[in-house]
């Protein structure tokens, strides 16, 4: 094979790999992450908990990063973390994830976590 054919083959392989990569990302983003439920049923199973989060040094990387992590956690509906008051408010489906598992997610990110209230519907 000539250098031009090898170069063309390499470009083709990179193109195919990139195409598969983009396709897998699109498939992941279009697939539903949470089981579909009616609105009334969602309100029955969702709970919200407030967690004190210690060890954050900024809003951008720490608090927003924690919220980005929770977007990937099955069972977590919403998460709002504030660096200013060291709080994270998480709405979740207790049939999928527990309070202990939520605390473990925060601790795995390197922060201290303490539940401030029991979940409410």
Q: What is the dihedral of CA 116, 65, 104, 118, to 10 degrees?
A: 20
- What is the per-residue pLDDT for 38? 43
pTM of the model: 0.61
Dump pLDDT digits (tens) for 48-63: 999 999 999 999 899 9
Kindly state the DSSP code that residue 86 receives in the 8-state scheme. T
């Amino acid at each position: 094979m000539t250098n031009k054919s090898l170069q063309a083959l390499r470009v083709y392989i990179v193109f195919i790999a990139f195409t598969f990569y983009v396709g897998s990302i699109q498939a992941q983003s279009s697939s539903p992450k949470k089981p579909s439920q009616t609105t009334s049923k969602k309100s029955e199973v969702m709970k919200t908990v407030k967690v004190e989060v210690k060890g954050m040094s900024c809003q951008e990387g720490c608090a927003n990063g924690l919220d980005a992590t929770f977007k990937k956690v099955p069972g977590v509906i919403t998460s709002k973390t504030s660096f200013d008051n060291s709080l994270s408010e998480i709405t979740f489906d207790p049939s999928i994830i527990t309070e202990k598992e939520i605390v473990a997610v925060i601790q795995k990110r390197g922060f201290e976590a303490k539940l401030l209230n029991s979940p409410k519907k």
